[in-house]
Chains A and B, each alone.
Chain A
């Protein structure tokens, strides 16, 4: 077998990029927009974020201004779309789910994020606690654009990017798991890019 003639430096760079890419992914510098419907445009004055659930002692609601007053963090993360593009080192700002969920008492084990546009996604609680998931409203130092999920989207970088649902408006805390918009239509319930869990049965 013949080896292609490449310089040592080039191969070194390739290896370091590939080390950050889950199996079957390619690197992009673009930020592709995937649309399964019209882009919701909720005015900030009408926007709120709620946490509900049957085991909740008291449901919780934040207006946009109240949400802005919560403790904020900046996040730098690699994101991996199930359609095979990955984008490294994206920068976001928002509120950790730890911060939001610390303000409610419940006995749930699953989170179902619900969104404008009728979208939803499901995650086990232990996959979103411990600094692993955020509600973000800023991307690369600017307010998050509507086509990328603004005013606010979920950010769960260790799962395929469809679970970082756009236009998030709240969390339902549930005792039982319940597949979301894509998880109920053939996509994997967990969606771990490093285990290449794209579709059900992967």
Chain B
């Protein structure tokens, strides 16, 4: 039996909220280009007035790109193969 289920948009947003409300500094990001895994705090960060780009310290590939527009955050994580987040249980 297929244990997966379709989530509606609100449920998916709740899921993302669960992920990104944690302290992200120690989250481990795996580079989609070279496979190196580093904590967010160890990535090379370029904070330009146009947007922030988090790059792999091994190969400089953009892993996470964030732009704050007038109304929204735009988040591109297509350069990362995987992001591992450990819930901060002490905060709950």
Contact = CB atoms under 8 A, between A and B. Distances in A.
Interface in A7-37: 34-37
Interface residues of A, number: 19
Interface stretch (B3-11, B45-53, B80-88): B45-53
B70 A199 contact: yes
A186 B53 contact: no
Contacts of B67: 182, 185-187
B70 A37 contact: no
A4 interface: no
A76 interface: no
Interface residues of B, number: 18
A83 B49 contact: yes
B46 A185 contact: no
B69 A199 contact: yes
A37 B50 contact: no
A71 interface: no
A187 B60 CA distance: 23
A35 B49 CA distance: 9
B50 A182 contact: yes
Instruction: Please classify the interface of chain B as helix (H, G, I), strand (E, B), loop, or mixed, using the class held by over half of its residues.
Output: strand
A83 B69 CA distance: 11
A134 interface: no
B60 A37 contact: yes
Nearest to B55: A37
A68 interface: no
Contacts of A83: 49-50
A35 B48 contact: yes
B76 A36 contact: no
Interface in B27-74: 46, 48-51, 53, 55, 60-62, 65, 67, 69-72, 74
A99 interface: no
A82 B50 contact: yes
A118 interface: yes
Residue from A185, A186, A187, A198 with most neighbouring chain B CB atoms (10 Å)? A186
Contacts of A185: 51, 65, 67, 74, 76
Given A186-B67, A186-B69, A34 B62 contact: no
B49 A186 contact: no
Nearest to B61: A118
Contacts of B70: 198-199, 202
A55 interface: no
A198 B49 CA distance: 13
B49 A34 contact: yes
17 contacts: A35-B46, A36-B46, A37-B46, A37-B55, A37-B60, A37-B62, A82-B50, A118-B61, A118-B62, A185-B51, A185-B65, A185-B74, A185-B76, A187-B50, A199-B70, A201-B71, A202-B70
